[in-house]
Structure 1
Amino acid sequence: MTTLEPPAQAAATAPISRAATILMAVAAGALAGNLYYAQPVVALIGDDLGLPPALESTIVTASQLGYAIGLVLLVPLGDVVENRRLMLGTMGAAILGLVALALAPTAAILFAATLGVGIASAAAQMIVPLAASFAPPETRGRVVGNIMTGLLGGILLARPLSSFLAGLVGWRGVFVLSAVLVAGLALAGLRLFPRRMPAGRVGYGALIASLGRLFVREPVLRRRALYHAALFAAFGIFWTGAPIVLLHAPFSLSPQAVALFTLSGVLGVFAAPVAGRLADRGLSRIGTMGAISLVAGAMALAFLGAGSLAAFVVAGILLDLGVQANLVIGQREIFQLDESIRNRLNAVYMTTFFLGGALGSALTSPVLEWAGWRGVAAMGCAFPLAALAYFGWAERRTR
């Protein structure tokens, strides 16, 4: 007979090595980057496979929906399955998906492969709870922030790398190189990833069924997930729409120039460790309000500076700083709730906000066709403003 909650997970008996920590951070970044390689080159993929412009952004949506599926169906297994074996097996599936994506001859196969890569890339979110399990509560925000620095670095570098490499080896070559990178990291992980056998013995059906109940009964989890869903919708809107706009008149940038533009977002990686330390000091509320306001301000700047490349660059910097800061603060808060179900808490949190990102990406191309960049930017601004209103209402209720 199974129960909803397992016994407390086995505590880590010794801290992981520095080499293992670095490898985990890089692996998390490489896996998460798979969701974003297509983002700046959707126009190139669409031209190659004959996709209508209004459907180009759905390539990004497919990867994000896949990631959400992986978060629901795979990441919770970290509460009951030996973590290293689970991560390496899922990374192997990601390698196969990347190869299939690179070889896709039709749009239908491309979408199926993209969905599969998204599902398997959820292994990135198996790494974060594992790292948190080796950290004492008083430094958990810092440890999570350090791992998230690698994960976010992969996300933020994926766009410029994809744009730059697409000009050299084509968009298909980008995914071949990603497969090679993930394979190398998996081989290194055979030696360096720490083993952790959870004490839980929950049946798979009960494990998955518990996710919805967690969302309903844990107000902190619910609030943090919805805040970040709104911010991630704005993130998807900006980083899917801006490269499309910049590739066409009046900007008419080359893929390499778009790569340089997307480097503006890399500065957001520095928000992760700072946000983790703020949360450790009890400043989560102030940090959350500041992060949401930063994203709203970034999208307002993108609206006002529609014809200015400089405005696009500054908006990208501010947007990524706010999104990454809020992500780390949110993870630190939910990891404080119950250590025995940390993978499931992370799965609910990540799934909710990735659905927000998928919604934003899916809306971008049709709104761009219908209302132009200003319409896209206005839509992107509405999401963080709604999050800010919800934050204010929730804080008043909590107090």
Structure 2
Amino acid sequence: MSQPPFQLSSWLVVVFAAVCGMTVANIYYAQALIGPITHDLKIPPAWAGTVVTLTQLGYGAGLFLIVPLADRVENRRLILLTVTALILSLVGSSLSHAAAPFMLCAFAIGLCSVGSQILLPLAMHFVAPERRGQIIGNIMGGLLTGIMLARPLANAIAAALGWRAVFGLSAGAMALIGGILWRVLPTYRPEGQIRYGDLLRSIGQLVVRHKTLRYRILYHGILFAVFNMFWTAVPLMLHDRFGLGQGKIALFSLAGAGGALAAPLAGRWADRGHARAATRGAVLGVGLMSFCTGLTVDSGWLLLTAMLALLLDAGVQTNQIVSQRAVYNLDNAARGRLNAAYMTAVFMAGAAGSLGGAALYSHLGWQGVSRVSALLCGIDLVVLFIGFRRGVRD
């Protein structure tokens, strides 16, 4: 079945980037609001982490259960349905006055925030192969900015209006986003009509079939674990070593948002045939920056540590863009499932990194976080060497 003609203009790329950023930010608001949420809803301290965990679990479930549907059902309708459900979940969170309904809404927020992971592969259907890296970079730049700005934005709104206002205002913003998407989204109906059970089973088959997918999961899974390890331990270190309060820690986290500026550049490098060099440089750079933060923190150099954090984030985002471009180019008819396999595995690696970051810092301090991160990047370089020797596609 032929698809209707559609041109992905520069303006639409900006819209898609903003949509992805605002959508994925919803996953991270609760991380900044654990204190007031647990106090207001009388959630025991031992269960405080559940607020964040349920949102993350919901997102992981959405990656595996919803994103593959992009290869089976009409994409425009699927995206609009996830946005509508997300709005209802956000409203439910803002109105919850007991732990149980809030926890249910937290899981639903994560589950329904995967619309951005359907929108990005959809855009690739309307872009020439030689421009895919550039477009992925531009859209992912918006998504990554949303991730990094979510925590300081949530802190600022909660300080002025209370934590419920964060979810209420986000629901209003997503309603506006939904209206824009209803006007501008193209129609895309996949040609295949695979049964849902077969669709999910085929995700594992794609992992087995595509060597590039397996290695790109390893490349970025390790790097994303380092990223989450770093940003989980950073607030603890900034408070203990530099005596920073919540507001100044939020300002430090803005340094990470600057790393999103690397995303468009990474996409252009990949389109010009430099994907392999970009991957090597990203992994080596992240390892070096991680190791150097051990020196700057010990020396009390806060500004230099912030600069290293920016460069570390830039390296991680560079590898993400290059890896997604390689994965999306493997099979046009299976982009939803390829993205589901890649993102679910990377997301799980990131979750492991978050757990490891807190544990490492509590037992070995920042030097432990720094050195283990550098060691993981060294392992990643070995995996890169093996993958390139085995002919992994760029």
| Distance in 1 between residues matched to 2:315 and 2:114, nearest whole Å | 23
Asked if 2 retains the 8 angstrom alpha-carbon contact of 1:141 and 1:277, the reply is yes
Q: Which residue of 2 aligns with 1:353?
A: 346
Tell me what 1:32 maps to.
24
Quote the Cα distance in structure 1 between the aligned partners of 2:50 and 2:5: 45
More displaced stretch, 131-140 vs 310-319: 310-319
Q: Per-residue deviation at 1:146?
A: 1.7
* 1:268-279 superposed matches below 5 A: 268-279=259-270
Structure 1 stretch 42-51 or stretch 263-272: which is displaced more? 42-51
Equivalent in the alignment of 1:214: 206
CA offsets 1:334-386 (integer angstroms, 9 cap, x no match): 11111111111111111110111111123333443333333333443343332
Q: In the alignment, which residue of structure 1 is the partner of 2:187?
A: 195
Give the 3-state SS of the residue equivalent to 2:118 in structure 1: helix
- For residue 204 of structure 1, the aligned residue among 191, 196, 214 is 196
Aligned to 1:123: 115
Distance in structure 2 (CA, Å) of the matches to 1:279 and 1:145? 10
Distance 1:179 1:381, change over 3 A: farther
Aligned in 2, Cα 1:108/1:389: closer, same or farther, shift over 3 Å? farther
Match of 2:223 in 1: 231
Query: Do residues 242 (structure 1) and 240 (structure 2) align?
Result: no
Q: Which amino acid aligns with 2:293?
A: A
Residue 124 of structure 2 aligns with which residue?
Answer: 132
Residue type of the partner of 1:315? L
Whether the aligned pair in 2 keeps the contact of 1:10 and 1:198 (CA below 8 Å) is no
- Give the direction of change, closer, same or farther, for the CA distance of 1:345–1:46 in structure 2 (3 Å limit): same
Match of 1:325 in 2: 318
Aligned ranges 1:1-399 → 2 under 5 Å:
10-11=2-3, 13-42=5-34, 45=37, 49=42, 52=45, 59-105=51-97, 109-246=101-238, 248-307=239-298, 308=300, 309-398=302-391
CA contact (8 A) 2:267 2:322 kept: yes
SS of structure 1 residue aligned to 2:351: helix
CA contact (8 A) 1:57 1:240 kept: no
Structure 2 distance, partners of 1:78, 1:189, is: 16
Q: Deviations over 1:208-252 (max 9, x none)?
A: 110011111111011111211111112212222212433x34433
Secondary structure, aligned partner of 2:242: coil
Q: How many angstroms does 1:20 deviate by?
A: 3.3
User: What is the count of residue pairs matched by the alignment?
Assistant: 389
Mapped to 1, the partners of 2:288 and 2:157 lie a distance apart of 31
Query: Do the aligned partners of 2:8 and 2:127 also contact (CA within 8 Å) in 1?
Result: no
**Which whole-Å CA distance do the structure 2 matches of 1:242 and 1:45 have between them?**
22
CA distance in 2, matches of 1:375, 1:323: 20
Do the aligned partners of residues 58 and 24 (structure 1) sit closer, same or farther apart at CA in structure 2, a change above 3 Å counting? same
Aligned AA (1:359): A
Superposition deviation, residue 149 in structure 1: 1.8
C-alpha deviation, 1:190, in angstroms: 1.3
CA deviation profile, 1:125-148 (whole Å, cap 9, x unmatched): 001011111001111111222221
Matched position secondary structure for 1:184? helix
Structure 1: which amino acid aligns with 2:208? Answer: V
Shift in Å, 1:88:
0.8
Give the letter aligned to residue 190 of structure 2.
P
Q: Is the 8 A contact 1:63 1:114 kept in 2?
A: yes
Larger relative contact order (CA 8 Å, sep ≥ 6): 1
| Preserved contact between residue 120 and residue 136 of structure 2 (Cα < 8 Å) | yes
Structure 2 match to 1:6:
none
- TM-score normalized by the length of structure 1: 0.89
Answer yes or no: is the 8 Å Cα contact 2:13–2:135 preserved in 1.
Answer: no
- Please list every run of 5 or more consecutive structure 1 residues that lacks an aligned counterpart in the other structure: 1-8
Q: Are the equivalent residues in 2 in contact too, given 1:40–1:258 (CA < 8 A)? A: no
| Separation in structure 2 between the aligned mates of residue 168 and residue 381 of structure 1, nearest angstrom | 39
Greater Cα shift, 372-381 or 310-319: 372-381
Q: Deviations over 1:246-273 (max 9, x none)?
A: 3x34433333222211110121121111
Relative to 1, partners in 2 of residues 1:291 and 1:108: Cα closer, same or farther, differing over 3 Å? farther
Confirm or deny: 8 A CA contact 1:225 1:349 kept in the other structure: yes
Compared with structure 1, are the counterparts of its residues 280 and 82 closer, same or farther at alpha carbon in structure 2 (3 Å cutoff)?
Answer: same
The answer (yes or no) to whether the contact 1:80–1:198 under 8 Å persists in 2 is yes
Q: What letter matches 2:19 in structure 1?
A: A
Is the CA contact 1:94–1:117 (under 8 Å) kept in the aligned structure 2?
Answer: yes
CA distance in 2, matches of 1:63, 1:281: 38
Measured at CA, do residues 278 and 146 of structure 1 come closer, stay the same or move farther in structure 2, by a change above 3 Å? same
Which residue type is aligned with residue 386 of structure 1?
Answer: I
Amino acid at match of 1:301: C
TM-score, L = length of structure 2: 0.90
> Is the Cα–Cα contact under 8 Å of residues 61 and 358 in structure 1 kept in the other structure?
no
| Equivalent position SS for 2:62 | helix
Q: What letter matches 1:296 in structure 2?
A: G
Report percent identity of matched pairs.
41
